[in-house]
Amino acid sequence: MKNNHRIFWGMLILFLTATLLLTAAAPRQADDPNPPDQVVKLIFIHHSTGENWLRDDYGGLGQALADNNYFVSDTNYSWGPDSIGDRTDIPNWTEWFTSANTPTYMDALFNESGQNSEYTRLPNDPGGENQIVVFKSCFPNSDLGGNPDDPPGTYEDMTVSGAKYVYNQILQYFASRQDKLFVVITAPPLRKADTSTENATNARAFNDWLVNDWLRENDYPYNNVAVFDFYNVLTGPDNHHRFVNGQIEHIYKPGTNTSHYPTEDSHPSAKGSQKATEEFIPLLNIFYNRWVSSGTLQPGSAQASNLPAATLSAPPTSAPSAPEPGGAGVPLPPETVLTIDDFEAGASDWQVNWDASTSTSITCAAEQGTGSQGSVSLRMDFSIAPGSWGTCALSFDTPQDWSAGEWLAFDVHSEQSGLPYNVIVYGGTPDAEETYIQYRKTPVEYPGGYIPFTSSWDELLRADWEANGGSPFEHPEQVVGMAFGFDGGQDNPYAGTIWIDNITLQKSPTYEGSGNPPKSNLPCLGGAILPLAMVGMAWIIRKK
């Protein structure tokens, strides 16, 4: 019995020790809700709900922003090149931020200093570009189809999966402009009479994903993107997204998924808009202070134009996000373990295949003067008929071992955004190939003309027409080829040109002196706990 007591107390000491060790990490720097010390230029993309929110006699946001040292401009209907201001639904954000016209739209947006709504603002324009971009869709965007747990899809539409796709796509542009702070305002809720219970539940799930999971799932390492849950604030008097008692609070009562502050329609009332102003302003200050404290980059700087590939597309979960030793939270770039093809020696090993029974055509060849790093890239010209296909493929005579890499990386360039294409890896043996596919779309132009993309092994899924369709690629030690494919499953034919370069295998970085990221130093308490743990263990062993 005595031995049992001794073991019990010894194990209790160890338990408390482990608990203290787990909670003894260095404290996170406290968030700062104070306004900027100097005037900061902000542009707000919105329609009627945003206009009401800004008005002095309604939501009071414009005056509150001025009181917090923000010089505010805004866009509304009919604003900008191609009247892009007319289009602010969720599926439209890819046109704003990831289309061939993005450079034109962003140049106009960053340099806009006028008012397109009535509100009080600071009297003097400090000059220069807008530093903060705040953007919001209107309440019809809370009528989302699909299911609450749907994963990101492959194209933009008004469903949970389509909306997640949009925000994952535009994150690529935000990563390229760390000199700007982008603040997402979630779409306001609909009245109960204007939506179904299912679609309101979907809106709740999507906005929770934006606040809690969007940046985390993409391993986004920068502080230039933030989300304010306007939707949640307006769904109930006890639903909040605010800074209180030194902490950011995001709470709601389950089932409150429609507007608690409607008018004769789903426009939020003045009371609801004022509540949102009160909760948003301290959070905006926190978002701004986080961004500034992390350091900003000028457009076109080395880091801004050569971001880790794992950051710029749906990254593998193993993509690096740990800080560089001695650095200030700056992630190390991934390591290249094998260059599969940089096309400097040509592309004679790449062969085209297509559905010859249709009008589909495809060519692929090396092209001088178009490389992302060297001088040569692989150019693919294609015209795909509905229901047909074409590929540009590289085959190996004997299986290759790619297990040293954690993901496949490559650079993509196209003058058209939204062109569907597939990344294909063939596993198995030359006599018994297995086809694994990831569906992608071309992005907007990027500094240097290319965007780095990645495909992790678990993102490559077995073709539906083969056995075990939908299962992930699990044997990178057995690769017999790869390809870039074009799928005519679209309702309409499509054609275009895509350039590919610098196809490599990559893995998470290793750190000097160790194969693992450096561990945080324990505070002084940790120095006392470790000897205590050793004493506890020695006491148990000796007493037994």
Measured CA to CA in angstroms, residue 180 lies from 173, 226, 288, 293, 444 at distances of 11, 11, 10, 13, 18
Judge whether 18 lies within some domain: no
CATH number at residue 471: 2.60.120.430
The pLDDT tens digits for 109-129 are 999 999 999 999 999 999 999
Q: Which residue has the higher pLDDT, 7 or 457?
A: 457
Question: For the chain, how big is the Rg over CA atoms in Å?
Answer: 27
State mean pLDDT over 480-498: 85
Q: Which residue has the higher pLDDT, 529 or 99?
A: 99
**Alpha-carbon distance 361 to 358, whole Å?**
9
Same domain, 293 and 348: no
**Alpha-carbon distance 175 to 309, whole Å?**
11
Decide if 128 contacts 180 (C-beta within 8 A): no
Same domain, 202 and 147: yes
Judge whether 428 lies within some domain: yes
State mean pLDDT over 382-388: 90
CATH number at residue 179: 3.40.50.1110
Q: What is the rounded average pLDDT for all residues in the chain?
A: 83
Long-range interactions of 508-513: CB distance < 8 A, separation 24+: 508/318, 508/319, 508/320, 508/334, 508/335, 508/406, 509/320, 509/332, 509/333, 509/334, 509/335, 510/335, 511/322, 511/324, 511/325, 511/332, 512/325
Judge whether 542 lies within some domain: no
The one-letter amino acid at 305 = S
3 state SS of 526: helix
The pLDDT tens digits for 67-79 are 999 999 999 999 9
Same domain, 200 and 263: yes
Which is nearest to 377 in space by CA: 367, 385, 387, 386? 367
- pLDDT band at 487; cut points 50, 70, 90: confident
State mean pLDDT over 311-324: 35
- pLDDT band at 11; cut points 50, 70, 90: low
Same domain, 187 and 280: yes
> Residue 300 burial by CB count (10 A; 0-12/13-18/19+): exposed, middle or buried?
exposed
Q: Which two tokens stand for residue 400?
A: 């290759």
> Residue 183 burial by CB count (10 A; 0-12/13-18/19+): exposed, middle or buried?
buried
- pLDDT band at 387; cut points 50, 70, 90: confident
**Alpha-carbon distance 73 to 108, whole Å?**
12
Judge whether 501 lies within some domain: yes
Measured CA to CA in angstroms, residue 455 lies from 169, 312, 315, 400 at distances of 15, 11, 7, 17
Assign residue 254 a region (left: φ > 0; alpha: ψ between -120 and 50; beta: otherwise).
Answer: beta
Same domain, 357 and 288: no
Strands (DSSP E) contained in 210-334 are 225-228, 240-244, 247-251
Q: Please, which residues bridge with residue 367 across strands?
A: 377
Is the confidence at residue 306, as pLDDT, over 60? no
The domain of 469 spans 336-507
Q: Which two tokens stand for residue 417?
A: 């955004």
Q: Please, which residues bridge with residue 132 across strands?
A: 42, 181
The pLDDT tens digits for 132-163 are 999 999 999 999 999 999 999 999 999 999 99
- The secondary structure element, H or E, covering residue 353 is strand 350-354
Same domain, 192 and 341: no
Is the confidence at residue 263, as pLDDT, over 70? yes
Is the confidence at residue 3, as pLDDT, over 80? no
Rounded percentage of the chain residues whose pLDDT exceeds 90: 67
State mean pLDDT over 19-26: 43
Find the Cα–Cα–Cα–Cα dihedral 178, 77, 89, 443, rounded to 10°: -50
- The secondary structure element, H or E, covering residue 528 is helix 524-543
Lowest mean pLDDT among 162-166, 286-290, 504-508: 504-508
Decide if 34 contacts 249 (C-beta within 8 A): no
Q: What is the pLDDT of residue 302?
A: 29
Q: Which residues contact 415 (CB under 8 A, 6 or more apart)?
A: 100, 445, 496, 497
Same domain, 202 and 67: yes
State mean pLDDT over 522-544: 35
Q: Any idea which residue has 């400097």 for tokens?
A: 344
**Packed helices 197-212 and 160-176: angle between N→C axes, nearest 10 degrees:** 20
Q: What is the pLDDT of residue 344?
A: 93
Q: For 11-33, what is the HEC assignment?
A: HHHHHHHHHHHHHCCCCCCCCCC
Q: What is the pLDDT of residue 443?
A: 63
Same domain, 385 and 469: yes
Judge whether 229 lies within some domain: yes
> Residue 27 burial by CB count (10 A; 0-12/13-18/19+): exposed, middle or buried?
exposed
Same domain, 298 and 341: no
Judge whether 20 lies within some domain: no
Q: Which residue has the higher pLDDT, 85 or 6?
A: 85
Assign residue 63 a region (left: φ > 0; alpha: ψ between -120 and 50; beta: otherwise).
Answer: alpha
Total tally of structural domains belonging to the chain: 2
Judge whether 251 lies within some domain: yes
Judge whether 410 lies within some domain: yes
Same domain, 231 and 84: yes
Same domain, 355 and 299: no
- pLDDT band at 305; cut points 50, 70, 90: very low
**Alpha-carbon distance 263 to 268, whole Å?**
6
Same domain, 44 and 115: yes
Rounded percentage of the chain residues whose pLDDT exceeds 70: 79
Phi and psi, residue 350, nearest 5°: -90, 130
> Residue 296 burial by CB count (10 A; 0-12/13-18/19+): exposed, middle or buried?
middle
**Packed helices 524-543 and 2-23: angle between N→C axes, nearest 10 degrees:** 160
- pLDDT band at 294; cut points 50, 70, 90: confident
